[in-house]
Chains A and B, each alone.
Chain A
């Protein structure tokens, strides 16, 4: 997969080759708590929500920026999403990413983690095949599956370590720390590799508003669709996803949702009259009023 540097401009390329070429995969997630769903398809109507960069992805970018500051490096931020997801790429630029790629195609909508990881891996192979390190957020706030990162590692055929709190690069050897099932683990692997990063140690740097505005003026975002990645329908979106959503329903269905109002004293009395068992059985006390 590694390409030899081209003959021309040797000095420049030698310098480039010493840089750590990093890719940070990020996702835009909704900021609001109540999101409209399409009841028919069971999919999120993402276009209706205001978005932000997923917190763990931001930590992954912060980790990459620190490697860049320490070793010299080049960072490409990649996201797959609707055109609006370009917002987080602008934010990534203002934080210090060097280049951005938006992978966007209406046919990619409805992708599960299998299809998403396939698309992202293909984007990396197509646009930055000479990467050293891929960093992803360990999970997203809107779906929490934590699957895309490890699956991308498989797709790219490189070694990977999930949920790392801390990373340190020495030459081409990466040492990471993580807490895994009550064990504090120190692990090492050679580059190229992939890690997913937690929010534990990498608090993202603050970007002043002006920096963000500048980033929006820069036209340095590449866009690619399925065609550019040489992918066909069968690998994309719903088609490429082995899972199917049968139904989406509110998790509060089944809640009694009894509304009590009035003076606090009256409310509390009524609460105990009606629900003394629900509370009393848990605290193992009889809460019946003495008459």
Chain B
């Protein structure tokens, strides 16, 4: 296994730092895993003028950082970064390699895995070390109704991508130290086959629904546009947002903006109250990160009811009205 001690690597993805702290979260998880297999947590940083990130990753728990700092690495590029990363991995043979599931990471990681001929698990929600020392990767399957535990028994490194927000970062520690390894730009750097014509930062999208701690979600079972309006009052009292299923949006009971589901919005409220929703996979794919779930449905056998912490068998609109009434009473007091 290469030189001496084993290592766990994290790809340093610093673009959009203020929204994207996934690298710090991965360093934190890698530190826990490293204890279990006695390994060193290493981070790679590619770019131009990246000392800021080297420092940041040190303070958040990286113990060794491979830095390649050069003008040619100024822009995120798959062709170039893949070449560099493949070289480094082949040289140092890490046991585990973690990549944030950002847009870049989701393209970079599978291509790297292909070049290294190793396995990759996408969007892990759990990473643990099993009894045999293998990385046990827990990932949603089939849109999130099921979870799978996956291992890569033989090939190395064991690779996984993780969505931002899955793990907690280690608090900033100014006294932390890391070994910094300066990597020269390889002589055989390939031409980038893809030309970046322009890259324009998008105005910050307001992600009210995605970030809400409480979401009240309504489906066709709400019955009518008028009854659906009731949900807005409930959401207001709870300080939350309103989400909807596709039929609701098609019937114009709610705006397109409210649509929750696989291709649209993924929400992760700590409390989700779901009214008159059957629980079709295209919808539940968008709510798999919800915490405490209350579902109201006339049909006790609806899929949504099986996913709930509390399944209320009743008319959706009547329960909504009763909730509003009861909350007003309790909150006023």
Contacts and interface: CB of A to CB of B under 8 A. Distances in A.
Contact of B107 (A163, A246, A255): A163
Interface string B194-219: 11111111101000000001100000
A55 B199 CA distance: 27
Given A246-B150, A260-B313, A150 B142 contact: no
Interface stretch (B37-45, B61-69, B249-257, B302-310): B302-310
B324 to A, nearest CB: 9
A269 B142 CA distance: 36
B80 to A, nearest CB: 12
Given A243-B119, A255-B293, A261-B313, A146 B110 contact: yes
Interface of B: 15-16, 19-20, 79, 102-104, 106-107, 109-111, 113-115, 117-123, 136, 140-155, 193-202, 204, 213-214, 238-240, 262-263, 270-271, 279-282, 284-285, 288, 291-294, 300, 303, 305-315, 318-319, 321-323, 325-327, 329-331, 333
Nearest to B109: A147
Which one of B103, B201, B202, B262 has the greatest number of beta carbons of chain A within 10 Å? B103
Interface class of chain B by DSSP: mixed
A117 B119 CA distance: 12
Contacts of A244: 150-153
A112 B293 CA distance: 32
Nearest to B269: A282
Interface class of chain A by DSSP: mixed
A184 interface: yes
A228 B27 CA distance: 46
B271 A272 contact: no
B196 A282 contact: no
A110 B114 CA distance: 18
A112 to B, nearest CB: 7
A34 B280 CA distance: 9
Interface string A102-117: 0000000000111001
Contacts of B326: 265, 268-269, 272
B148 A245 contact: yes
A160 B108 CA distance: 11
B202 A141 contact: no
Given A187-B194, A283-B239, A267 B314 contact: yes
A241 B154 CA distance: 11
Interface residues of A, number: 83
Interface string A159-186: 1111100000000000100011111111
B311 A251 contact: no
A151 B314 contact: no
Interface of A: 32-35, 37, 42, 44, 55, 112-114, 117, 141-148, 150-151, 153-155, 159-163, 175, 179-190, 193, 199, 241-252, 255-265, 267-269, 271-272, 275, 278-279, 282-283, 285, 287-290
A162 B281 CA distance: 24
Given A159-B79, A243-B121, 19 more contacts: A33-B280, A33-B281, A112-B119, A113-B120, A114-B114, A147-B110, A181-B15, A182-B204, A183-B201, A188-B195, A242-B118, A246-B150, A251-B288, A257-B309, A259-B310, A264-B322, A272-B326, A278-B271, A283-B271
Given A199-B263, A250-B146, A271 B120 contact: no
A277 B206 CA distance: 29
Given A162-B107, A175-B197, A282 B293 contact: no
Nearest to B323: A268
Contact of B103 (A145, A163, A261, A269): A163
A143 B141 CA distance: 6
5 contacts: A185-B196, A187-B195, A255-B307, A267-B322, A285-B330
A257 B198 CA distance: 50
B19 A243 contact: no
B111 A268 contact: no
A33 B302 CA distance: 11
A119 to B, nearest CB: 13
B140 A251 contact: yes
Contact of B202 (A151, A183, A290): A183
Contact of B331 (A34, A184, A245, A285): A285
A68 B67 CA distance: 45
A271 B110 contact: no
A155 B117 CA distance: 10
B107 A150 contact: yes
A34 B198 CA distance: 43
